Amino acid sequence: MQATTQSHPAVSIPADHAVAMPAYVERSHLVVQDLPMVSNWYQRILGLTPIESGANGETLGVAGRPLLTLTTERNAAKAPRSAPGLFHTAFLVPNRRDLAHWLAHAAHNNIRLQGASDHLVSEAVYLADPEGNGIEVYRDRSRGEWNYQPDGTVAMSTLPLDLQALYNEAPKDHWEGIAEGTAIGHIHLQVSDIPQADAFFRDALGLDLMARYPGASFFATGKYHHHVAANIWNSRGASKRQSNMTGLADYTIRFNDIAKLATALGKLEELEIPVSTEGSVHSLVDPWGIGLLLVAA
């Protein structure tokens, strides 16, 4: 199952929202071993709803907007923790109240969290699905609260998040799924080399380098804090991802700025990175063996 060019339902989003930028991550595609179990978990715990289904896959989303495709393969082998691929898919909810509402739902279902952080630009809660695929659920602070540096980067940190205070702000009414307007705010990848990641995401795809951590780079368009992150914390020097692994098969970057897409395609051709085109969908495999779809708005 691949990305389509279908139009999305009209949802009012702020002009500075992650998905209103010149390019953004639209959806993620995971290969799983137990499709019914994992799909049910994303519906029950994350609150996504089915949009499209087939014999070997299912697409889930919010209010008709596709966000996550799950497929299964008979010979899929469990990806090792050190393999390039997914660190986490980050689901961006509209506001802190919505984050609190989801947190209360997770707590009431005894979901084990892996962490919670205040990143200055955002507040985030971390967990994993039943097959170990990383997930972040987060809300952005207003851009007026972000601290941009003279070089154009943005200040981010990893500070403790007071989960009890967040939980206390949750609405008391029944939770009926993740909030309408939720989108994939960013995707965080495991790669084998940071200079190689800079060369691919910044120099080839034309994303701006927005921040660095030790062993990680953060890229975005429109001065967002990051649409794509790449780290080597578990995967330094790892060989390419194998095609029969579970985990991240591919992800989609949608370009609102067609000229930016044309520039990226030209650079990929110059670098002799093979790209196949079908309609407005341009498919390639990145330097770490992860599929990438570049889609025109």
- Section 119-140 average pLDDT: 98
Task: Tell me if residue 105 falls in helix, strand or coil.
Answer: helix
Q: Fill in the amino acid letter for 33.
A: Q
**Contacts of range 276-280, beta carbons closer than 8 Å, 24 or more positions apart:** 279/5, 280/5
State residue 9's pLDDT score. Answer: 47
Alpha helices in the chain (DSSP H): 35-41, 96-108, 163-168, 194-197, 258-270
Q: Is the pLDDT of residue 97 over 80?
A: yes
Q: Are 192 and 279 within 8 A, CB to CB? A: no
Q: Is the pLDDT of residue 273 over 80?
A: yes
Task: State yes or no: pLDDT of 6 exceeds 50.
Answer: no
- Alpha-carbon span 19 to 221, nearest angstrom: 10
In this prediction the pTM is 0.95
Torsion angle in degrees (nearest 10) through CA of 190, 77, 111, 60: 80
Burial 126-138 (b: 16+ CB within 10 A, else e): bbebebebbbbbb
CA distances from 247 to 72, 76, 147, 268, 270 (A): 10, 9, 34, 25, 30
| pLDDT tens digits for range 142-174 | 999 999 999 999 999 999 999 999 999 999 999
pLDDT band at 10 (very low <50, low <70, confident <90, very high): low
Q: Which amino acid is at 10?
A: A
What pLDDT does residue 201 have? Answer: 98
CB-count exposure of residue 141 (10 Å: 0-12, 13-18, 19+): middle
Confidence of residue 243 (pLDDT cuts 50, 70, 90): confident
